[in-house]
Amino acid sequence: MGLITVSGLPGCRTEEVARIAAQQLGFEFISDTRLVAMLPEEFRIEGPIPERAWLSLMLSLVGPLATKHHLVLCFDGAELVSAEFPGALRVKIVAPELVRAGNLMLDRRLERGPARSCLAELERERKGTWKKRFGRVSVPPDTYDLVLNNGSLSSECAAQLIVSAARACGVEERGLLSAAEATHLEFQVRLRLARHGITPVGRIEISDKQFVNASEEIFANLLDFYRIAWEYEPRSFPIQWDKDGRISEAFTPDFYLPEFDLYVELTTMKQAHVTKKNRKVKLLREIYPHVNVQVFYQKDFENLMFKYGVVRHE
C-alpha cells in the first residue's frame, strides 16, 4: 500500500509539511486528531486513551482506511505504526532549537523567552508520552528513510522532497491494502487490545453450534464477528505410525482459516496436557513443514473470553 509517515520535533511545523505533501500526491492526510475522533464509534472510548494501547488502537483504525486510500500519517509515533506496512516511507522533520522556538513565537504569538519555555515543556511532554506509550523516548536514526531539516528548508520545499522520494521509491505503485490483509491485521491488533480490556462496538453472542467445548464456540463466534472464514476440524494429520506402517496417532487442529492458510489449535487444559499437545504440534511441523499452525494457550484464550464482551445464549 502507499503509506508515508511524517513525524517531527516540537515546533517543526510537521503537520504543515505533511498536508502539503499529501495534497501534491493525492494521498489522504491522517492526523492523530482524526483517528482519536473515530474511537467513540469503533470502541466507545471517549475519555483518555490507555497509553500502552495507543499504538494498537491507531493500527486498528488505519487498516480499514488503507484499503480505500493511499495515506500520509502525521503524528508522533507514526513511524512505529508503519512497522505493519512493509515499504512505507518514513520521514522525520527536525530543526535547530532556535528555529523551532521562532516558529512557536509566530504560531502562538509569544515573546522569545516564553516561546523557549513552551518548547522545553512540549519536549518534556513528548518524552513522557513516548515513555508511557512505547517504553522508550526515541528510536534509532535508521528507523527513518528520510530526515529533513526545516531550519534551512521551507515547508513547501520539504514537502516537495517527500513527494520526490515517494515517487522515486514507487510508494504509490504498491497498491492499496487488500481486504484479506486488512482483516488479518485487524484480527491480530484486536487480540492485543483485548489485553487492555478494550472491546469493539457490539458483543459476540455464542450460538447453539455443536462444538466439543465452549472455548471452541467462543473462538468460532469471534471469527464470525470479524468476518473471517473458518472450518471446524477439517483435516487430521497422521503423526505416528506403527512398525507395520499403520497410523497409530493423528492430530486434528481445531480450526482452519482458508483466507490465511492457517490452522489454529486451542489449548485451555492443564499443563501436563498442554505439554502433550505441544509435542503433537511439534511433530506436525516437522512432518508437514508446509502446514501453518498456531496454538492459542490458556492466557491467550482468557483474553478472548473476558475482554471481548462475550455472552452466551441460555
Phi and psi angles of residue 45, each rounded to the nearest 5 degrees, phi first = -95, 115
pLDDT of 314 over the 50 cut: no
Same fold, 3-193 and 203-312: no
The better pLDDT of the pair 309, 100 is held by 100
pLDDT of 303 over the 80 cut: no
200 pLDDT band, cuts 50/70/90, is low
* pLDDT score for 269: 63
* Domain locations along the chain: 3-193, 203-312
The owner of cell 508446509 is: 290
The whole-model pTM stands at 0.69
Residues 279-303 have a mean pLDDT of 85
76 pLDDT band, cuts 50/70/90, is very high
Distant-in-sequence, close-in-space partners of 26: CB < 8 Å, separation ≥ 6: 70
- Domain 203-312 CATH assignment equals 3.40.960.10: yes
Residues 4-20 have a mean pLDDT of 96
Range in 9-13, 120-124, 264-268 the model is least confident about: 264-268
* pLDDT score for 286: 93
The strand pairing partners of 249, in sequence order, are 240
Dump the DSSP string for 257-306.
ETTTTEEEEE--S-HHHHHHHHHHHHHHHHH-TT--EEEE-HHHHHHHHH
Q: Which three cell numbers stand for residue 227?
A: 468476518
The better pLDDT of the pair 208, 300 is held by 300
* pLDDT score for 116: 96
pLDDT of 77 over the 60 cut: yes
d(CA 298, CA 308): 15
- Domain 3-193 CATH assignment equals 3.40.50.300: yes
168 pLDDT band, cuts 50/70/90, is very high
308 pLDDT band, cuts 50/70/90, is low
If you average pLDDT over each of 46-55, 239-248, 292-301, which comes out highest? 239-248
Residues 131-149 have a mean pLDDT of 94
pLDDT of 79 over the 50 cut: yes
Q: Which three cell numbers stand for residue 278?
A: 505441544
* pLDDT score for 311: 46
Dump the DSSP string for 151-191.
TTS-HHHHHHHHHHHHHHHTTGGG-PPPHHHHHHHHHHHHH
173-182 tens-digit pLDDT: 888 888 878 8
CB 30 within 8 A of CB 62: yes
Range in 6-15, 24-33, 176-185 the model is least confident about: 176-185
Give the ranges where the chain is alpha helix by DSSP (H): 14-25, 32-43, 54-66, 78-81, 97-108, 112-134, 155-169, 179-194, 214-225, 271-287, 298-307
* pLDDT score for 304: 63
* pLDDT score for 84: 86
The β-bridge relationship of strands 255-257 and 231-232 is antiparallel
